[in-house]
A and B are shown apart, each in its own frame.
Chain A
Amino acid sequence: MESLARLLQAALPVAWTAAAAAYLLVFLRGERPADRWCRPLAVGAAAAHTVLLVLVGLSAHTAFTSPAFLISAVGLSVALVHVVLEGRVGSRTTGVFPASIVLVLVVVSSALDLLGPAPDLPRWSTAVHVAGAILAYAGLLLSSLYGTLFLMQQRAMRSRRFGLLWQRLPSLELLDQFSVRSLVAAAIFLTLTIGFGHVVGTAPDLAFAYSDPKIMFTNMIWLGAVLIVVSRRLHWMRPAASAWGAIVLFVVAVGNMLIVDSFSSVHPG
């Protein structure tokens, strides 16, 4: 099992490079063979990625506490959310962006020894909490990515700069849909991760307080995501505003992960 995991770990960067290259050809040149192959390549790479993480999870129950595993899992989550969205919307012109992000995360994860030992994981609810957080971060990342692309396309159209980006990026409506749907996914997984975080946090051996900066920031991100989704649903907010909102939420989420943890007793840095 370990040899298969090692083989997949070595093959994964190659598989994601192939998928990202095919998407890049679709984006730059709109080539038909690449258009035919990019999605099967991405789906194949995501499947291999899933098998690898399952194998790692089976061989080491403590995988969720390994930074390499977490980074790889964020990559897989981005890939899965993208594959599902792409399948539902039917456009392949933006795949180069999430595929490149996944490739970077996979390479970093490989460099950090994915299959090495990791600290103990105290209880199963922590695993669900972490998995939900990973998927939520992936959703926020994709939402901010498509929000950024929306703003770039809108800027090109407003300033009449009809260059490569204008030619290759899909419609404003499509980018907006990708961004909002990713945010919906992020809101759902944030709800899950906050709920299980509560279960984990109220355990007698943990110091849990609602005033903890980590919890406050996480709740703010969740509230922001829900407000944007509801406002868009009720037509109270314009696409550009929600795109900016998604970018801000992602930046706050990254800050929450990298900085706020240092001041938190729940997630000590």
Chain B
Amino acid sequence: MELIVAGLSHHTAPLELRERVALRPEELPRALDGLVTVGGLSEALVLSTCNRTEVYGRLGEGVDRERPMAALEQLRPGAEGSFRRHGYVHGGERAVGHLFRVTAGLDSLVLGEPQISGQVSRAYSLACSTGTAGPLLHRVVPRALQVGRRVRTETSIARGIASVAGAGIGLAVRAFRDLGSCAVMSIGAGQTVATALRALHGKGVRSIVVTNRTPERAERLAAELGGTTAPLADAARYAAEADIVVAATDAAVPLLRDADLAPLLRRRGARPLVVLDLGVPRDVDPAIAGRRGVYLYTLDDLQGIADRGRNERAADLPRAEAIVTSAVTEFRRRRRSLEAAPALRALLDGLLTMRSDVIEADRDLSDAERATVERLTGHFVDRLMRRLAPRLKDGTIPPAVLLDSLGIERPEAPDGPETPDRTDTDRTDTDHTGPDRTGPDHTGPDQPRETT
């Protein structure tokens, strides 16, 4: 019984490929069905986010480890070979460790981001409801969710702010009691503004007004976020009525000038105005920062907050990794203990049968002598079992080897066919991208900022 994970992630595949192979929620039931019927998995769970598409499960007996990859590729026309070129397959303990790290947010693009835990939970619920989750997933996924919770509670890995969009929200949250009461306006409708507006929209802001030089682009973004558009020429008027202003254009001169905004600000009450100028060169006149109630921040300010948050999180990474490692060890110990139970029962039965066969064979024994021999050999079997049990449970002595050498029949595996016990789990891995790239080194300066 061995967990397997096959897929690709932001560590191994470019964004375009990840977008192409990502599965929409409505496609997942069909994908799970395909993985079981075509992919050769007896249990399956699909985790598909913008940063990873992975399948976790158990291979059927004699099934090639590449088959789930091929099944994933079949779900997307034009994705042939992409999983095998950019993906990875891990088995055994490494797959368990990978799932634990993913669920704890240690493998995420933004270290410690919290959404992944909910995504794993939803993927598991779907696998349960479609009937593709079996005994192995029922054991390993809830444990992964527990480990994720423990890592988040006991370390700083999920604390603080670690992205530019998060820094923008953090600044707004320090100004306003309730973001749900905030009106947001943007100057520009490009990727940077869109990311910030999506993050604010996710926090349930009251309204969004998009201004942009190209009205069509503004309308597209406003439609996506349920907002409205306004002419760029009226930016100052809308900014004075808003609570949060996000600006990022490629204009050479500031589009929001102090001279335009200052007279309008007098009509505002005591409510603060947070201005996030994410443009380079700047889109907002720096003189605005001197106005009462206005809090102006540039991209450097937000980047500084995010860098600091990432550094704080990264400093606690060793502790988080230690929790995952100990959880994997504990999981292995429990699994072996569980798997050893039928073998221990078979061993005890076999030894007792041997003992009674030997005693029965000697017809010269009196009843008193037979009772003594039975008592002594009973003690002997008991002591032998006490010594063997821990070694069988921790895998020092493979149960199958011991039973075979004593000529005792092997029991059936507790939940499904037994697979050979591997002590070197790395031998079961197939990484199509060369050296292992799923390590913790993803907090560098070139790390993209969007969350999973």
* Chain A residues packing against B (C-beta within 8 Å): 29-30, 32, 89, 153, 157-158, 160, 162, 166-167, 169-174, 176-177, 232, 235, 237-239
Can you list 18 contacts pairing A with B, beta carbon distance less than 8 Å? A30-B159, A153-B174, A157-B174, A157-B175, A157-B295, A158-B295, A160-B304, A162-B301, A162-B304, A167-B160, A171-B174, A171-B177, A172-B175, A172-B176, A173-B176, A173-B271, A238-B292, A238-B293
> Is B175 within 8 A of A239, CB to CB?
no
Residues of B within 8 A of A166 (CB): 174
The residue in chain B whose Cβ has the minimal distance to the Cβ of A31 is B153
The residue in chain B whose Cβ has the minimal distance to the Cβ of A160 is B301
Would you call B338 an interface residue if the criterion is a C-beta within 8 Å of the partner chain's C-beta atoms?
A: no
Residues of B within 8 A of A171 (CB): 173-177
Interface size of B in residues (CB-CB distance below 8 Å): 21
> Is A177 within 8 A of B174, CB to CB?
no
- Chain B proximity of A118: nearest CB distance (Å): 44
Would you call B297 an interface residue if the criterion is a C-beta within 8 Å of the partner chain's C-beta atoms?
A: yes
- Chain B proximity of A152: nearest CB distance (Å): 12
Which 3 residue pairs of A and B lie closest in terms of their CB atoms, listed nearest first?
A173-B177, A174-B177, A235-B269
What sequence of 0s and 1s flags, for each residue 198-241 of chain B, a beta carbon within 8 Å of any chain A beta carbon?
A: 00000000000000000000000000000000000000000000
Contact A169 B269, CB 8 Å, known A238-B292, A238-B293? no
Contact A239 B173, CB 8 Å, known A157-B295, A162-B308, A167-B160? no
In the complex, A89 Cα to B178 Cα: how many Å?
A: 11
Residues of A within 8 A of B173 (CB): 171
What sequence of 0s and 1s flags, for each residue 273-296 of chain B, a beta carbon within 8 Å of any chain A beta carbon?
A: 000000000000000000011010
> Is A239 within 8 A of B301, CB to CB?
no
In the complex, A153 Cα to B293 Cα: how many Å?
A: 13
Residues of B within 8 A of A160 (CB): 297, 301, 304
In the complex, A30 Cα to B161 Cα: how many Å?
A: 13
Residues of B within 8 A of A167 (CB): 160
* Chain B residues packing against A (C-beta within 8 Å): 153, 159-160, 171, 173-177, 269-272, 292-293, 295, 297, 301, 304-305, 308
- Chain A proximity of B310: nearest CB distance (Å): 13
> Is B177 within 8 A of A238, CB to CB?
no
In the complex, A153 Cα to B175 Cα: how many Å?
A: 9
The residue in chain A whose Cβ has the minimal distance to the Cβ of B289 is A158
> Is B175 within 8 A of A173, CB to CB?
yes
> Is B174 within 8 A of A169, CB to CB?
yes
> Is B177 within 8 A of A157, CB to CB?
no
In the complex, A157 Cα to B176 Cα: how many Å?
A: 12
In the complex, A171 Cα to B153 Cα: how many Å?
A: 24
> Is B272 within 8 A of A173, CB to CB?
yes
In the complex, A153 Cα to B308 Cα: how many Å?
A: 19
In the complex, A162 Cα to B305 Cα: how many Å?
A: 7
